[in-house]
Amino acid sequence: MLKVEDLAVHYIGRKTVRALEEVSIEVKKGEIMGVVGESGSGKTTLGLSILKLLPPNGRIVNGRIYLDDLDITSMTEEKMREIRGKQISMVFQDPMTSLDPLMSIGDQITETITTHEKIPKREAEEKALSLLEAVGISGDRFKDFPHQLSGGMRQRVMIAMALSLNPKLIVADEPTTALDVIVQDQIMDLFRSLRERFGVAFMFISHDLSLELEVADRIAVMYGGWLMELSESNKIAEDPLSPYTKELLAAIPNIELEDQKLRFIPGNPPDLSNPKSCDS
């Protein structure tokens, strides 16, 4: 459904940062694809590139992105706007800065719907209501304002918005990082149930490999702008290919072991404006 071929993205500036290099990845229909990596690995850039939401200094310098055989790489902004929210949507890390504090959550979801579909407001509101229920928020909170909701609930609102037009893919960039672990679990469950119910695919971007192992079908490991490894999540845990993945796995603390020293991967992430050849 979504195919990324050989994507290379650079941020132009006094020093050009090579955020992504030769990344090829495919997301199948209804699949939950996990993209894991540390800060600076390029995982967020990948997500933004798919929606063509790169900041002004970001350029796709090579590669193609296909949505169901449609080449969206060089699509105009106008056409892209039709795709965003409708065919591919995105959920970000901090729901508070993504919401207008002066509009009720129900109205904001309705707004997303009416932007893409010419249906009467009443109908859109009903859709918004059912979406709220689908993400586990009671319908009588339709008229509530963002500041009246907890962090976890706000994130659900964002997911409801992302879901509102039945997109093929929802890109979630660190959706649970700002939330506590119990809420994290709930959101993961939500992803799974939404995928079952609506057949929507997820690209779940995170730095937390253990989370991904729980929920993703396949996992892509990124480092320094490169795709290190890509395989089924159960296979990755049993038989990791790249040494980086091995270290990541080993770094996951095991709640059952008693005297455990936290393992970490030595060194800093590579300076992407000055890439050196791989020497792990």
Partner 1 sequence: MASLKAYIATRVVLTIPMILILLTLVFFVMRVLPGNPVIAIVGMKASPKYIAELEHQLGLDKPLWQQYLDYLGKLIQGDLGTSMIWGRRPVIAEIMDHFPATLELTICSFIVSIIIGIATGMIAGVKKGGKVDFSMRVYSIVAYSLFIPWFGMMLQLIFGVWLNVLPVGGRIDPLLEPKHITGLYIIDSILTLNFESLVNALEHLALPSLTLGIVLSGIYTRLVRSSLIEVFSQDFIRACRARGLKTSSILFRHGLKNALIPILTMMGLQFALLLAGAVLTETTFSWPGMGTFLMERIEYRDFTTVQGTIAFYALFVALVSLVVDLIYAYVDPRIRY
- Per-residue contact string for residues 68-107; x = within reach of partner 1 by CB under 8 A: -------------xxxxxx--xx-x-x--xxxxxxx----
Please, which residues bridge with residue 88 across strands? 84, 169
Which one-letter amino acid corresponds to residue 152? G
- Which residue spans within the chain are E strands per DSSP? 2-11, 17-27, 32-36, 58-67, 70-71, 88-91, 169-173, 201-206, 218-223, 226-232
Q: Does 161 bind partner 1 (CB under 8 A)?
A: yes
Cβ proximity to partner 1: between 41 and 164 the closer is 164
Residue 56 contacts partner 1 per CB under 8 A:
no
Residue whose token pair is 């296909």: 66
Among 73, 115, 186, 242, indicate the residue that binds partner 1 (CB under 8 A).
Answer: 115
Q: How far is the CB of 172 from partner 1 (least distance, A)?
A: 11
Sign (positive or negative) of CA dihedral 59, 39, 162, 229: positive
**Which listed residue (145, 207, 247, 273) binds partner 1 by CB under 8 A?**
145
Distance CA 61, CA 59 (A): 6
For partner 1, what does the binding mask look like between residues 15 and 34, x meaning CB under 8 A? --------------------
Number of amino acids touching partner 1 (CB under 8 A): 30
Tell me if residue 228 falls in helix, strand or coil: strand
- Site for partner 1, rule CB under 8 A: 51, 53, 55, 81-86, 89-90, 92, 94, 97-103, 111-112, 115-116, 145, 147-148, 158, 161-162
